[in-house]
Amino acid sequence: MRPTDIQTIGDELAIKWDDGVESFIRLETLRRACPCAGCKGEMDVMGNVHKGPEIKLSPRSFSVLRIDNIGGYGLQPRWADGHNSGIFPFAMLRKLGEEQQNNSK
């Protein structure tokens, strides 16, 4: 499962997958799902999650400047507020798209 086309359209990330499925993920949803350690925290060897203070999000937090491919497995958005450490594996993006589609029914 790999994207064949990725575009930001309005306030959504549109992804066309190699199996023909299309995903549309709101940029706010994508940012709030950021999997980086700063946003979600880090787990130690004992299974405890350590997280810094809550990150304040602004309208710039939901605006994408560009999206970089990371290897053959994911995407890394560059947000207008300077955040750029979240790497979204393709499987996570596909799941976010499916969840958004199911929630809009």
What are the start-end ranges of the H helices in 1-105? Answer: 27-32, 37-40, 90-103
pLDDT in tens, 52-61: 888 899 999 9
* Domain locations along the chain: 3-103
Beta strands in 30-95 (DSSP E): 42-43, 49-50, 64-70, 74-79, 88-89
pLDDT in tens, 5-29: 999 999 999 999 999 999 999 999 9
d(CA 80, CA 15): 20
For 82, how many CA atoms within 13 A lie in the half-sphere containing its CB? 2
CATH node for 3-103? 3.30.2020.30
pTM: 0.90
